[in-house]
Structure formats: structure tokens, C-alpha cells
Amino acid sequence: MKAWLLQCKFEVLRNLRNRRFFFVSILLPVGFYFLYVHLIGKSIVIDGVAWPKYYMVSMATFGVVGTGLNGLSSRVAYERTQGWVKLMQTTPQRASNYITTKIAANLLLNILEVAILFVAGAAFEHVTMSLAAWILVAITTILGGLVFIALGILVGHLAGSDASQIVASILYFLMSITGGLWMPVSTMPPVMRHIANFMPTYHLAHIAWSVMGNKGVSITDVWVLFLYLVVFTGLAVYLANRRSDVRVA
């Protein structure tokens, strides 16, 4: 357990020391948040939710997606192809520690990001809601990040470290835009609304939007996210095991 916690700590530190993490997961969502809240106007209401509140969740989700995809994919790919994973497998530690510590570290970072966005919203844009709603929205966004953690790990198993970085970046922006995180889906053409229905990004943020709009959580959102999580995890596990029996080069 001590070894697990230590490894988890190093994984968190590695992200915090990474300028890319700072940019993608903190600066970009917070910057976009303030920019678009003021560009669009605070009085706008989207699906029954005031714009500063709505966009706070959009950007928190955007940050969580970025951390899972960008933070994990190239790192997993690098460590897998550069012999690090193999070296870890020769130690007496549990083989699963390698990936579970990364997942745990990423969840901790998700907490940090959601906290930063919520503080930005509450302190600077006067976002208010009930304590229960704050907690529910926060927990949903943080744990929903598991889908993108699984996707990040999956991408890391699909390609080498350079290629997976590119794939992750493309997925990150595409899923964020089509999922309505940059611009609300209801302002997009119908075809985009249709596409959004297939995006885990949309369904994750939609849970929080529904809670804030007092609409009650749609079970479809939960199912879609769960399905994506199962598929991404299953594929990642399959790829990880398929390649475990290779020779030392």
C-alpha cells in the first residue's frame, strides 16, 4: 500500500511538473471560461441554465477530458515502447499497480481542475446553486473523467508516443467541440445535435447541465457513459495483454 501511494504521488507530481498539463488542463479551460462568459454575455440562458453556470460545467468537463487524454496517452505509449513497463514487470510489485496508480493520480487531478473551475465560477462570475447540486455536479464530472482516462490509456496502447500524442489531441478537440463543450449543442445545426448524442463528452456534461436546470438526470446519459467506459477499458485491457508476451528487443 505504501508503495502504491508513493507511486501515485509521483504520478501526480509528474503531471504538475508538466507545462503541457498546466496549459491544457488549467490555463485553456479557465481562459476560455472567462473569455466566452464575457463574449456571449452573462444574461443568456441555455436550456434553462444561466450561461456562466452552464459554461462552468462545459469547461470543467473540457479540462477533465484533456487531462485523461493528453496526460495519459503519450506517457503510456512512451513507457510501453521504451522498456519501462517491462522493467516494472520484473519487480515484485503487483502488475496492476502501474495502471491503477495512474488512474488514481488522474482522478486527483480531475478534482483539482473541477475545483479551479468551480472557484472561478463562484468567486468571479457569481455562480450559485444548492450545496447538494455543487457536490453532485462535482462528483459526476470527476468520476465521469474515468471514461477519458480509459480512452487515454487505450490510445497509449494503440500507437507510439508521438503518434498517440497527435491522436489524443485530435480526439480531445473533436470530442469537445462535437460534444457541445465549446458551444452549446442547442445553438448548433441539427446534424451536430445528432452527432453530439454519440459523444461521451456531451453525455457527461449533460448530466451536470440537467442537475443545474432542475430537470433530473437522464438514465440515457449514465448508460452511454458506462458503455463507453466498458468498451474503452475492454479494448485497452485486450491490447495490453496481447502485447505482454513479446520478447525483450
The binding site for other proteins (CB under 8 A) comprises: 2-3, 6-7, 10, 13-15, 17-18, 75, 78-79, 82-84, 86-87, 89-94, 245-249
Minimum distance of other proteins from residue 135's CB (angstroms):
32
Q: Which is nearer to other proteins, 22 or 124 (CB)?
A: 22
> Cα–Cα–Cα angle for 239, 242, 248, nearest 5°?
115
Minimum distance of other proteins from residue 3's CB (angstroms):
4
Buried b / exposed e along 69-92 (16+ C-beta atoms within 10 A)? bbbbbbbbbbbbbeeebeeeeeee
Minimum distance of other proteins from residue 219's CB (angstroms):
41
Minimum distance of other proteins from residue 148's CB (angstroms):
21
Minimum distance of other proteins from residue 166's CB (angstroms):
18
Q: Which is nearer to other proteins, 89 or 214 (CB)?
A: 89
In whole angstroms, give the CA distance from residue 151 to residue 65. 9
Q: Which is nearer to other proteins, 39 or 246 (CB)?
A: 246
Closest CA relative to residue 61, chosen from 238, 209, 169, 249: 209
223, burial (CB in 10 Å: exposed 0-12, middle 13-18, buried 19+): exposed
DSSP 8-state class, residue 186:
G
- Compute the 3-state secondary structure of the chain and give helix, strand, coil in percent, each to the nearest 5: 80, 0, 20
CB 161 within 8 A of CB 78: yes
Q: Which is nearer to other proteins, 21 or 232 (CB)?
A: 21
DSSP 8-state class, residue 248:
P
Q: Which is nearer to other proteins, 75 or 206 (CB)?
A: 75
Minimum distance of other proteins from residue 171's CB (angstroms):
21
Q: Which is nearer to other proteins, 91 or 186 (CB)?
A: 91
In whole angstroms, give the CA distance from residue 186 to residue 192. 9
